[in-house]
Amino acid sequence: MSSQNTFEIEDKYMAPFFVKQKISIDRGEGIFVWDEDGNRYMDFTSGWGVTCIGHAAPVITEALAVQGKKMLQNPNSGLTYSPARAGLLSVLMKVLPSHLTRIFFSNSGAEANDAAIKLARKVTNRLDVISTHQSFHGRTISTASATGQASHREKFNPLMPNYRFVTYGNLEELEAALDENAAAFIIEPIQGEGGVHIPSREYLKKAQGLCRKNGTLMIADEVQTGFCRTGPMFVSGHLGIEVDFLTMAKGIAGGFPFGAFAMTEKVAQAFEIGDHGGTYCGNPLGCAVAHAVIQYLVENKVSENVAHMETICLETMGQWKNRFPAAIVDIRGKGLLLMVEFATPDLAGKVSDECLKQGLFVRQTQGIGIRVFPALNIREEELKQGLAIMQTAIETVVG
């Protein structure tokens, strides 16, 4: 099948939710992908943060092959035990913050957030959920209602009730919002899709204290920041923030659709049989892949690589800001979750388009920015090659 055939079939039969780039990607290896016509590109989006150890990573393809020959889905699903699931639970217990002792699996980050919100209401016997402006928590009707961006909310009215929003990083607003009706406060330790915003360590620590004082459960949405994306395995754990729920997805299985949420023992003891479930939750195939990915992250000290690559990125991007002060407003981020903010959406769009022309996928975010989040095991020479393409694209657009 040719690229043109692929375009025609997808354009005719796919639901029209995306404005697509006219490129049909056929295969990948590491940070590189090839289209059906044989053209090679670099991927600085890691499939929107999921291919954390690169495309077609050998440890993933091997895990798929080995587990695929044994069992994809248990009889009676979650009602039977699974050695693949037990193996994943064991490795997660080694990397999660130690106060989180219970885990349940989902198919996505949105599902994990949806479940945490639902279960927080059961535990507290309260209804309201506090979220932050510019947040992003998913596309189900519940998680869209929890998302603090009008573009993801207003077109789907009526939304779910009992969601309220405060300014990200503002403790006074949070304290005022935490009343006897507040079941949960859901927070991204670093906002990703909202524009890579980083709060102070003091904010997260004090937010935890305010929630605990009020009897409000704290949900850390680490769907994007988890599994070494910003350096440490989890931002909240690294900062010593003892949340009640921690939600995970994206990098957990390196591109295989998978998610999870962890909780404290105290929270778990409030649940009863049947309070939550799911047909595919913790299926052996997904568990085997996630196990392989997490082991790879740990054994290859990927966290250290991310810290090294962050230094290179911020130093290089800082030079861009100094060189093009009228075009580039800000450079920010942690680890390999970075943002180049431009003066206008038009500039960001043109730079993004120029990057693609030169063989590099980047992600335009919030109109004015380009988010850079490549595979976490990217090599230094690969990173510098991609950054050089970005620089050339900026020079071409800005002049």
Q: How far apart are alpha carbons 164 and 148 in whole angstroms?
A: 9
Beta strands in the chain (DSSP E): 25-29, 32-35, 40-43, 100-106, 128-132, 163-166, 182-187, 217-221, 245-248, 259-264, 328-334, 337-342, 360-361, 363-365, 369-372
Counting every residue, how long is the chain?
399
Range of the domain at 279: 60-299
* Domain membership flag for residue 9: no
Q: How far apart are alpha carbons 107 and 104 in whole angstroms?
A: 11
* Domain membership flag for residue 145: yes
* Domain membership flag for residue 365: no
Helix or strand or coil: residue 258?
coil
Contact, 162 vs 147, CB < 8 A?
no
Contact, 271 vs 119, CB < 8 A?
yes
pLDDT average, residue stretch 182-201:
96
Q: For the whole model, what pTM was predicted?
A: 0.96
pLDDT category of residue 1 using cuts at 50, 70 and 90 = low
pLDDT average, residue stretch 320-332:
96
Strand-pair category, 128-132 with 163-166: parallel
Q: What is the pLDDT of residue 152?
A: 87
Angle between helices 380-398 and 302-323 (to 10 degrees): 20
* Domain membership flag for residue 54: no
* Domain membership flag for residue 155: yes
Tell me how far apart the terminal alpha carbons of the chain are, to the nearest angstrom: 40
pLDDT category of residue 211 using cuts at 50, 70 and 90 = very high
* Domain membership flag for residue 68: yes
Tens-place pLDDT, residues 248-295: 999 999 999 999 999 999 999 999 999 999 999 999 999 999 999 999
Q: What is the pLDDT of residue 28?
A: 97
Whether 347 shows a pLDDT value over 80: the answer reads yes
Q: What is the pLDDT of residue 62?
A: 98
Whether 20 shows a pLDDT value over 90: the answer reads no
Say which CATH number the domain at 177 has.
3.40.640.10
pLDDT category of residue 2 using cuts at 50, 70 and 90 = confident
Q: What is the pLDDT of residue 108?
A: 97
Q: How far apart are alpha carbons 5 and 333 in whole angstroms?
A: 40
- Look-up: residue for tokens 């090599």? 379
Number of structural domains the chain divides into: 1
Q: What is the mean pLDDT of the chain?
A: 96
pLDDT category of residue 153 using cuts at 50, 70 and 90 = confident
* Domain membership flag for residue 307: no
Q: How far apart are alpha carbons 263 and 325 in whole angstroms?
A: 45
* Domain membership flag for residue 118: yes
Beta-bridge partner residues of 342: 328
Query: How many CA atoms lie within 13 Å of 76's alpha carbon, on the beta-carbon side?
Result: 4
> Alpha helix (H) ranges present in 182-326?
201-214, 235-238, 265-268, 284-299, 302-323
